[in-house]
Amino acid sequence: MSAAAATRRLRLGVVGLGRLGKRHAENLAYRVPGAELVAACSPLEEERAWARDTLPSPRLYDDYAQLLDDKDVDAVWLVTPSSLHAQQIVDALRAGKHVFCEKPLSLDLAECERVLQEAARYPHLQATIGFMRRFDPSYKDAFDKIEAGKIGRPFLVRSQTADKNDTDGFFVRFAATSGGIFLDCTVHDIDVARWLLGKPRAKRVFAAGAVALHEGLREFGDVDNGVAICEFEDGKLAMFYASRTQAHGNDTHSEVIGTAGALAIGHNPRANRVEIYDAAGIRNECTPSFFDRFEEAFLQEARAFVASVQGGAGSTVQAGATLADALEATRIGNALRQSLQSGQAVTL
Ligand SMILES: NC(=O)c1ccc[n+]([C@@H]2O[C@H](COP(=O)([O-])OP(=O)(O)OC[C@H]3O[C@@H](n4cnc5c(N)ncnc54)[C@H](O)[C@@H]3O)[C@@H](O)[C@H]2O)c1
């Protein structure tokens, strides 16, 4: 790559400007060195109006195919419904664009495999899936300590994704297409466990769940609280908990246990460093939502992707989840759902 090409800003198009897409768009527009947000796409006029008002005059499209035709877009940033990811990644690669796509790659394993096969035809293009926990400073610090051998050989991860109860129950409305609690939430813990344990393949899983508050989930075979055990081929283990009904806030944390020590990541989901001392005792407030907890991770994830693409083929900057990692996360998430519904352990 020439020096001029290496220093040119990466021209990005964001696709999907919903709950999370707006956050990504603002990061890409204002907080990522080397990035230029030149285009945005949403089928909804109100979301394009938001982009007109908020972003630095990107070209706006209501149709993804038109954005892909835009020769001045180098990379697309997909924050669209999960059911669209696989085909949109394939279309982006065929159009010659690098791709970042939010998790999960797909809810369907055959679709995941199709994306991997297609991506293999475009080795000069980068494609990564947004498992942003890898970029959270505390998770990254734990990863580095494990790499440095500080806890000996890691063999067990306990990890949870627990959201504050949303009385509106948006996830009940999305239940038909979200894939259920394990593919929507635990998929992050699955990726974290594999990342911290050296990328093992799963061998057998067992899952169970309860509907604590949101009865509407039953007709979709889904639950608002789920637990699971995953055995890996190399003898390592993971235990997962997912919840949509916490009273105190978003309480996402993990623990990794090794032969010479253990690391706990984010056990107290502190909103800040203030402690309240009163007649009820001593306490701190909690991060209300996943975005408050992982705001820094989303930003670092975007910076790493841009740096990686600018580093060119063979760049080692990127630490994000590969398509193969995302496929394995879907494979395990699907098996957990199957176990929940059958009441049986599932051998993969
Ligand atoms: N990493 C995380 O922790 C995390 C958190 C939340 C959501 N997500 C993922 O992000 C994705 C989006 O989630 P969300 O909560 O923002 O959903 P959302 O429904 O709020 O937003 C979806 C967006 O996609 C747009 N859209 C729909 N069809 C489209 C099409 N054909 N072409 C272009 N745009 C289209 C919609 O207009 C909307 O802007 C999902 O895949 C979800 O799994 C990840």
Structure tokens at 294: 């992982």
Tell me the whole-structure pTM to 2 decimals: 0.95
Give the start-to-end residue ranges of the domains of the chain: 3-133+296-321, 136-289+329-347
What tokens appear for 184 in the block? 């929507």
Verify whether ligand 1 is closer than 6 Å to residue 249 (CB atom): no
Say how far apart CA 15 and CA 185 lie, in whole Å.
22
Domain 136-289+329-347 has CATH 3.30.360.10: yes
Distance (Å, rounded) from C-alpha 176 to C-alpha 300? Answer: 32
- Please report the pLDDT score of residue 57 as a whole number: 82
Query: Which of 80, 178, 187, 300 for a ligand 1 pocket mutation test, highest count of atoms within 8 Å of Cβ?
Result: 80
User: What is residue 178's predicted lDDT score, i.e. its pLDDT?
Assistant: 87
Q: Which residue has the tokens 């495999």?
A: 113
Q: What is the pLDDT of residue 177?
A: 86
Ligand 1 center to residue 83 CA distance, Å? Answer: 10
Closest Cα to atom 19 of ligand 1? 18
What is the pLDDT tens value at each position of the chain, 348 positions in all? 445 455 689 999 999 999 999 999 999 999 999 999 999 999 999 999 999 999 998 899 999 999 999 999 999 999 999 999 999 999 999 999 999 999 999 999 999 999 999 999 999 999 999 999 999 999 999 999 999 999 999 999 999 999 999 988 889 998 888 899 999 999 999 999 999 999 999 999 999 999 999 999 999 999 999 999 999 999 999 999 999 999 999 999 999 999 999 999 999 999 999 999 999 999 999 999 999 999 999 999 999 999 999 986 555 556 799 999 999 999 999 999 999 999 999 999
Number of other residues whose CB lies within 10 A of the CB of residue 34? 14
Tokens 């949109």 belong to residue = 88
Q: How far is residue 182's CA from residue 243's CA, in Å, rounded to a whole number?
A: 10
| Interatomic CA distance for residues 330 and 288, integer angstroms | 27
- Cβ contacts of residue 147 below 8 Å, gap of 6+? none
Cβ–ligand 1 distance for 17 under 6 Å, the answer yes
In this predicted structure, what is the pLDDT of residue 169?
83
- What interhelical angle do 187-196 and 323-342 show, nearest 10? 120
* CA of 31 relative to ligand 1 center, distance in Å: 21
CB count in 10 Å sphere of residue 98: 23
Largest interatomic CA distance in the chain: 66
Residues 149 and 253: their CA atoms lie apart, in Å, by 21
- Say which CATH topology domain 3-133+296-321 has: Rossmann fold (3.40.50)
The alpha helices in the chain, defined as continuous H runs, are: 3-7, 21-30, 45-54, 64-69, 85-94, 109-119, 137-147, 170-173, 175-178, 181, 187-196, 290-311, 323-342
Residue located nearest, by CA, to atom 32 of ligand 1: 64
> From the CA of 317, how far away is ligand 1's center (Å)?
26
Distance of CA 245 to the CA centre of its chain: 20
Ligand 1 atom at shortest distance from the alpha carbon of 78: 11
Cα–ligand 1 centroid distance for 160 (angstroms): 22
- Write the CB contacts of 348 (distance below 8 Å, at least 6 apart in sequence): 201, 202, 203, 204, 205, 331, 332, 335
